[in-house]
Amino acid sequence: MEKPTLPKRLESLDVLRGADLFFLVALGPLIRSVIRAADVPWLNACMGPLLHSSWTGFTLWDLIMPLFPLHVGNHHPVRL
């Protein structure tokens, strides 16, 4: 009896997962801290996309969390 072969991992998805978590946990807070510490007006204006929108709309930072569950659930390559 032959062992069933497991599907090959989609390495690009692993890279996306790692980059997503790195930005969410380490890089985002670090960038915000550096911008606040520098207190340069033009740099403060760049901080908008790294913050959560107050009640309407969204920014780049608001897309990080929803992106993670989207690719966490995809463990197998798509077969057409």
pLDDT in tens, the chain (80 residues): 677 777 777 788 888 888 888 888 888 889 889 988 998 888 888 888 777 667 777 777 777 777 767 766 655 555 54
Q: What is the CA radius of gyration of the chain?
A: 18
Structure confidence at residue 80 (pLDDT): 47
Distances (CA, A) of 29 to 15, 36, 61: 20, 11, 11
Contact 20, 71 (CB under 8 A): yes
